[in-house]
Amino acid sequence: MHNPLRSEADAFRWVVVMGVSAVSVILLTLLTRPVVGVVWAALLLGFGAGVAYRSSRGSLPRSVELTSGGDGKHRVLVVANETVGGEALLAEIRERCRNRDCEILVVTPALAVSRAEHWASDVDEAMELARQRMELSLIEIDRLGLKGRGEIGDSDPNVAIEDALRVFPADEIVISTHPPHRSRWLEHGVVDRARDEIDLPITHVVVDLTTESVAKN
């Protein structure tokens, strides 16, 4: 869930919006009849609730705040769930960090299986699965001779990216998904939304675990 109220600046925006709305209601009431003002206020309330709902669902375009590292290190934020240990992803990470002092943060969103689990915060199992996959991928990243750490992220991958960027001054982002016909993230436009919201280079890696396991065997 995208929290539309995070800081004083957000609260100030609400004051401005409420102020403008209140002025319009007051003017309408004074110029016409109180009932017109009441209807207008109800319409504004409905509209505001709709905007807040869409904003909390992440449906409205916004820009994500970025932080700066400033120490010459190249930082790569890797976002992946089931594909976190995929060969294609590891190859991409290796390529990104070739001849660079590189730091990697792997964020693995913990995906609740159902809406009921999501709303009941019954996510322990999803977090544990995500943690296991992430730890395996960190071992692989270690084997590549790279420095990496991991975090379990929000179930919404775009929120997980936003959360990570607040503490990790990434220079680029790598998002790993299943192939288009199998990927729920692609179906929900996770990569496109990240490209719209974040002013950083974003690489989309497709990991086909079926093909990879066949090739291994």
Partner 1 sequence: MESATVALDHSHEEHHGPPEANQSSRMDRQTLGIFLFIVSEVMLFGAFFAAYFFLRVVVDPPSWPPHPYELPVAVAGINTAILVSSSFTIHYALESIRRGNKKGLKLGLVLTWLLGATFLFIQINEYVHIGFSARDLAFGSIFYGLTGLHGAHVFVGLMLLSFATIRAFRGHFGPAAKDHLGVEVPGIYWHFVDIMWLVVYTTVYIL
- The secondary structure of residue 60, as a DSSP letter, is S
- Residue 123 is a binding residue for partner 1 (CB under 8 A): yes
* Residues 59, 4: Cα–Cα separation, whole Å: 12
* Residues 95, 89: Cα–Cα separation, whole Å: 10
- Residue 136 is a binding residue for partner 1 (CB under 8 A): no
- Residue 29 is a binding residue for partner 1 (CB under 8 A): yes
The one among 148, 173, 174, 178 contacting partner 1 by CB under 8 A? 148
CA Rg, the chain, in Å? 22
- The secondary structure of residue 109, as a DSSP letter, is E
Determine the straight-line distance between the first and last CA of the chain, rounded to whole angstroms. Answer: 41
Stretch that binds partner 1, among 36-44, 68-76, 87-95, 197-205 (CB under 8 A): 36-44
- SS3 of residue 102 by DSSP: strand
> Alpha carbon 24 to chain centroid distance?
36
Name which of residues 159 to 198 contact partner 1 (CB under 8 A).
159-160, 162-163, 166-167
- Residue 11 is a binding residue for partner 1 (CB under 8 A): yes
Q: Which residues bind partner 1 (CB under 8 A)?
A: 1, 3, 5-9, 11-12, 14-15, 18-19, 22, 25-26, 29-30, 34, 37-38, 41, 110, 112, 118, 121, 123, 127, 131, 134-135, 138, 148-156, 159-160, 162-163, 166-167
